[in-house]
Structure 1
Amino acid sequence: MSGSENLSTRTFGNDDSLPRVPLPTVEESCDRFLEWCGPLLTEDELAETKAAVEEFRREGSPAHTLHAALAEYDATEGVHSWLDTFWPYRYLGRRDRIALNANFFFLFNDVDASQAERAAGLIASALHYKSLLDEERVPPIVQRGVPQSMDQNKFLFSTTRIPGAVRDTVRAPYSGEWPGPSTERHILVFYRGNLFRMDVYGEQGKPHTLDELADGIRAVMDVGATPAAPGASVGHLTTKARAEWAASRQELIDAGPDNPALLDEVERALFCVCLDDLVPEDAHTACDQLLHGDSANRWFDKAVSFIVFGDGTAGINVEHCELDGTTVLRFVDALFEDTADAHSTESGAVSQGKPAVAPIEFSLTDALRADITSAAESFAAQAADTATSLLSFDDFGANTAKKLGISPDAFMQCAYQLAHFRAKGLQGATYESIATRQYRRGRTEAMRVVTPELQRFVAAMTDDDVDETARRDAFRAAADKHVARAKECQTGQAPEQHLWELQLIQQRRGEELGATEPLALYESPGWLRMRDDYLSTSSAPSVNIRYFGFGSTSGKCIGVGYVLLPERLAIYLSTPRPVAEPMYTFASELRRAVGELSALLASGA
């Protein structure tokens, strides 16, 4: 696509003309894989991995058959990207619980409003965004003259992940089963474990006014004032491992003649609003509740759930399978571009009386009630077994790094590695999410952060015999390498997802393709070590959020969600409680590292 003057101004107008995600060759991915995993391995482990890679890439290896099948798929009419099948298997194929393990959250800035007013304002602003989206009036994102994929916006409203025995599916508009934007008129509202349908559009399809929406929320709070009985809040079931939830969902459908229609209402609703009684004592408490909270008051499979606490503090919990942070950030920024009053007016809201509110009450068997109770207890135990921490820096931001002549993201990743080494005595595999939305249906690329340059930097910073000049040189070399690798990932030059998809093709189609021979690469120390995260990092820069976070990805991993703004930095950390102490040490060392590295660069200016 050439020239910004040729770009469409319609939301999805540029998507079909975006370039395709490049498909690497087997040779390219093998070379990059060895480069990426090498720093994490001993000499013997690297030798074993190299042997597995040579076997993988040899002439006649099943890898070439699998890659040929992938290339053929990529060239098939109607296929947007060679990753079109990968993403559903990656996200929808996971079998553990998504609550806490996969969903992510943002904590919004504070607003002076009551709980009902804050909820109504978020609803009105979201409905305004939907009106723009439905008419393709959300301006498409263009970065440095390059249009970005807007496709994920189709999954913001009326999208629900559906549990499956083997793999989950997604119910969403803009699909063959549900063409065009959602025409649903209702949202879900949770209060004290009670679930309600609330109509936010009147019979003529116009949104209710802001005052009417607040009246609707207050009506929910009146009717739902008595907390739900133990074993009655079906939302608990969405915390279960996916195959188990699939079985419970079928039992729920079978448990009463009205249940299928009620479940349909839940799954087709535009989004959730969760009204929590809790008044968070601080931002840390609010973040933890946004990550997991009271699962009686959640439906974790909904794409978007606004959570509003008793004092009006608010945030969002997002189901990740079709939505990445960049899309949700743009949505959140749009919610706060103007006042809720202005959004309501611009959405075409008209006065039409208090919104219709109706409880959604499933018929439940004793077995289902026991199932719900068990799910609640299990999830509460995992939440209690998750340790978290906040860091906030008012004296460091992206502008600080830029003034010091270094990439802000590279600065942060170097600080993470130095802090982790000081906390745990090693540099382990580190994941960073890199956006690739300049491609058709582009999402993210998996970047592995640890490089030889980064190792030399950490060694220099932890060796008393290395002087400041050598440390500074090592720091800048590590940062330059990080920037170079990030750029490679942004342009699809990364090995992990390509090799992973070849593995998945063999699992799905190996027999059909005559490619069943086991591939040692996937059992090699390099493959296993590179993907075993010690740190999982992701950035969400927005002036409209205070914190961003997610759960850790393994029993030893620290999840690092950070909001890096021009003048401030805010970080949310999470890890399993058995390894909490090293995380707390990491947090302390991270504060030290940020100050130390800033001073190091400043002294050389």
Structure 2
Amino acid sequence: MHTSQETNPTPTGRGVAGAHGATAPAPDPAGAPTFAHEDVLPRVPLPTLEESCERFLAWCAPLLTAEERAATEAEVAAFAAEGGVGRTLQAALAEYDASEGVHSWLDTFWPYRYLGRRDRIALNANFFFLFQDVEGVEGAQDDQGAQSVQDGQGVRDSEVRDPDQPQVERAAGLIAGAVHYKRLLDQERVPPLVQRGQPQSMEQNKYLFSTTRIPGPEQDTVRAPYTAQWPGPSRARHIVVFHRGHMFRLDVIGPDGTPHSLADLTAGLRAVRAAGAQPPAPDTSVGHLTTMARAEWAAARDALLACHPRNAAALDDVETALFCLCLEDFAPADTQQACDELLYGDRGNRWFDKALSLIVFADGRAGVNVEHCELDGTTILSFVDAVLGTPASEHASRAGARTQGAPTPRPIHFELDAALRAQVRSAADAFAEYGENTATRTVSFDDFGAQHAKSLRVSPDAFVQLAYQLAHQRAKGRLGATYESIATRQYRRGRTEAMRVVTPRIQRFVAAMEDPAADAATRRAALRSAADQHVTRARECQLGQAPEQHLWELELIQRRRGAELGVAEQPALYRSPGWVIMRDDYLSTSSAPSAHIQYFGFGSTSPRCIGVAYVLLPDHFHVYLSTPRPVADQMHAFAAELRTAVAEMRALLNAPE
């Protein structure tokens, strides 16, 4: 899951690792405009062919046998030789990078990587955040030493007294915060993010609101503001609210552009709950269609448009909405279920193509599901921190919200024929089965966090990545290709870089930990050495000094322009053991450091991969794991070994040296 468009699974990268040290200051009208730095940020550096080939060989070598290394080295030499096809492809990429209007040599790469994928994006590509609970909403936690709800079913006394109070109040507050953030963006009053003194690209913020991925037969497109088709920020005033598979258009901004008050929003949401109290007619919840593989959903969308003229208006309501709000009619029994529902819950209550879908459960717990094609985790973290870091009443006040009367929810109705109803039913059944075939697990370390790692004089991210490798070796009996997403937003239109974690020093560290004859000093030295190499590689990735995306884009140039360039066949490099094995994930990892979220998660990237999404904060460390159910036992073994690995590494570094 999180596969690429190719047959070889490749992680998409949530793009939040490397966000440590970022600051998101309070909006300041006197500060720099939000997009002030976009055209003066440095360009993503284009590596030379020699640099990427050399790095590729170094990165894949630890995963290969001697025979596989030799075969890979031979293909790299042929690819990079004078007169070789690599030179031709590199020249074409350099020419493109220098072309007028091109912001980065990755400008074509990113749409292909995200919009070109043909499998379903629900669970496979979208990611989620589970928000921290607000006062009075205490979610049950996971089985790793946490608190469960009183009756075991996740239903609280407060709900018995007033069943919808926690939900509608939380949802109204989230709407108010989101609308305030949008108004600040429209006025360019969200200060540019700064990380370690460097301004970061804010371009992705243009895709937070009124942005929808549109399925296509061969490649998807994006309907969004700030484009030639839709200049400037979105002027939409409505959101789409889901409840029990019903869809409603709800205005959250008045006709004069003034946001509705919290009381108005609460009343409007109560009206939605009342109007959607009964489930819709069977096979009519069109949101199910967004769980289909992309080409199938594209054909179904065309069928919707052809079925009845009113369907175009219904799609327009959904696609132009500021965001989706999904009101669930149940309270999850525990944190594990809450995370799973945020990742792949459905019941027709989602539109997975929408950039932002805020999800609020019956007990007031909440989170967000994010469509990934234009948004990485760093951008969502800034949005979430802004929304959750300020009380809802203050958001409403700062946005100038006032009472205008409760907005009236208007049903969004699709006309469906028998064939479309059958497709809705089929999509619902197929996605339910797909979700059932995914195993997940939450793991919490409430006595360990980034500050503890720093006190042991080791990089927090390096510490946990080494722990993942040791746990994987013990759970599966081997090391395997591991992906970590590294943010590169200090560059113009920067997104992420693909880091491959397994290094020779990590191999030596794991070997030392598994060697009964190795003493503590040897193990400790191996740990520190591996951590240092990890930090060095992460810094190189942040500087754009990584081979994978560069070489991948050269391959894509051959696919797009091979005949024109005289490179008719795929270069053998891309069938070499090194290329195939380095990109066949056993672990796909990404970090989301924010005090406002409990868990972050995404699907795994291959039939044997474990997706590892983690929230590493100063005093605690939360992990969400996912993998295909046939290999669930290995994931649970990994979770158990991760606890042991963290404890052993802490003890090792705590011991006198």
TM-score (norm 2): 0.90
Specify every segment of 5 or more residues in structure 1 that has no aligned partner in the other structure, as ranges.
Answer: 1-6
Match of 1:362 in 2: 414
Match of 2:97 in 1: 74
TM-superposed deviation, 1:144: 2.3
**Distance of aligned partners of 1:288 and 1:162 in 2 relative to their CA distance in 1, 3 Å threshold:** same
Match of 1:540 in 2: 592
TM-superposed deviation, 1:8: 6.6
Match of 2:444 in 1: 392
TM-superposed deviation, 1:336: 1.4
**Code of the aligned partner of 1:64:** R
Match of 2:32 in 1: 9
Identify the match of residue 559 of structure 1 among 581, 601, 611. 611
Match of 1:587 in 2: 639
Match of 1:252 in 2: 304
CA deviations over 1:43-76 (Å, ceiling 9, x no partner): 1111111111111101111221111111111111
User: Contact 1:52–1:521 (CA<8 Å) still a contact in 2?
Assistant: yes
| Aligned counterparts, 1:21-420, within 5 A | 21-111=44-134, 112=136, 114-420=166-472
Q: Residue 450 in 1 paired to residue 505 in 2?
A: no
Q: State the distance in 1 between where 2:347 and 2:485 align.
A: 28
Q: Secondary structure at the match of 1:294?
A: coil
CA deviations over 1:451-471 (Å, ceiling 9, x no partner): 010000000001101000000
Q: State the distance in 2 between where 1:8 and 1:209 align.
A: 28
Q: State the distance in 2 between where 1:229 and 1:555 align.
A: 36
Q: State the distance in 2 between where 1:350 and 1:509 align.
A: 56
Q: Secondary structure at the match of 1:59?
A: coil
CA deviations over 1:66-102 (Å, ceiling 9, x no partner): 1111111111111110001100000001111000000
**Code of the aligned partner of 2:390:** D
CA deviations over 1:207-257 (Å, ceiling 9, x no partner): 100110011111111011111222100000000000111001100111111
Q: Secondary structure at the match of 1:273?
A: strand
Q: Name the stretch that deviates more: 19-28 or 56-65.
A: 56-65
Q: State the distance in 1 between where 2:347 and 2:210 align.
A: 20
User: Contact 1:239–1:295 (CA<8 Å) still a contact in 2?
Assistant: no
Q: Secondary structure at the match of 2:615?
A: strand
TM-superposed deviation, 1:401: 0.3
Q: State the distance in 2 between where 1:66 and 1:230 align.
A: 53
Q: State the distance in 2 between where 1:427 and 1:49 align.
A: 19
Identify the match of residue 527 of structure 2 among 452, 471, 475. 475
TM-superposed deviation, 1:518: 3.0
Match of 2:570 in 1: 518
Q: What's the % identity of the aligned pairs?
A: 67
CA deviations over 1:178-198 (Å, ceiling 9, x no partner): 111000010000000001100
Q: Secondary structure at the match of 1:305?
A: strand
Q: State the distance in 2 between where 1:144 and 1:530 align.
A: 31
Q: Secondary structure at the match of 1:494?
A: coil
Identify the match of residue 437 of structure 1 among 476, 486, 489. 489
Specify every segment of 5 or more residues in structure 2 that has no aligned partner in the other structure, as ranges.
Answer: 1-29, 137-164
CA deviations over 1:287-337 (Å, ceiling 9, x no partner): 000000024000000000000001011000000000000000000000012
Q: State the distance in 2 between where 1:447 and 1:570 align.
A: 21
Q: State the distance in 1 between where 2:575 and 2:471 align.
A: 30
Q: Residue 599 in 1 paired to residue 622 in 2?
A: no
CA deviations over 1:382-425 (Å, ceiling 9, x no partner): 10011000111111000000000000000010000000000000
Identify the match of residue 503 of structure 1 among 534, 555, 562. 555
Q: State the distance in 2 between where 1:294 and 1:445 align.
A: 31
CA RMSD in angstroms, aligned pairs only = 1.0
Q: State the distance in 2 between where 1:517 and 1:562 align.
A: 40
Q: State the distance in 2 between where 1:577 and 1:420 align.
A: 17
User: Contact 1:62–1:517 (CA<8 Å) still a contact in 2?
Assistant: no
**Code of the aligned partner of 1:105:** F
Match of 2:475 in 1: 423
Q: State the distance in 2 between where 1:91 and 1:228 align.
A: 33
TM-score (norm 1): 0.98
Q: State the distance in 2 between where 1:147 and 1:431 align.
A: 26
TM-superposed deviation, 1:546: 0.4
User: Contact 1:9–1:139 (CA<8 Å) still a contact in 2?
Assistant: yes
Match of 1:4 in 2: none
TM-superposed deviation, 1:154: 0.5
User: Contact 2:555–2:570 (CA<8 Å) still a contact in 1?
Assistant: no
Q: State the distance in 1 between where 2:481 and 2:575 align.
A: 16
Q: State the distance in 1 between where 2:516 and 2:403 align.
A: 71
Regions of 4+ moved over 2 Å: none
Q: State the distance in 2 between where 1:401 and 1:517 align.
A: 49
Q: Secondary structure at the match of 2:348?
A: helix
User: Contact 1:8–1:14 (CA<8 Å) still a contact in 2?
Assistant: no
User: Contact 2:225–2:234 (CA<8 Å) still a contact in 1?
Assistant: yes
User: Contact 2:559–2:570 (CA<8 Å) still a contact in 1?
Assistant: no
Match of 2:16 in 1: none
Q: State the distance in 1 between where 2:323 and 2:476 align.
A: 41
Size of the aligned set, in residue pairs, is 599
Q: State the distance in 1 between where 2:198 and 2:132 align.
A: 31
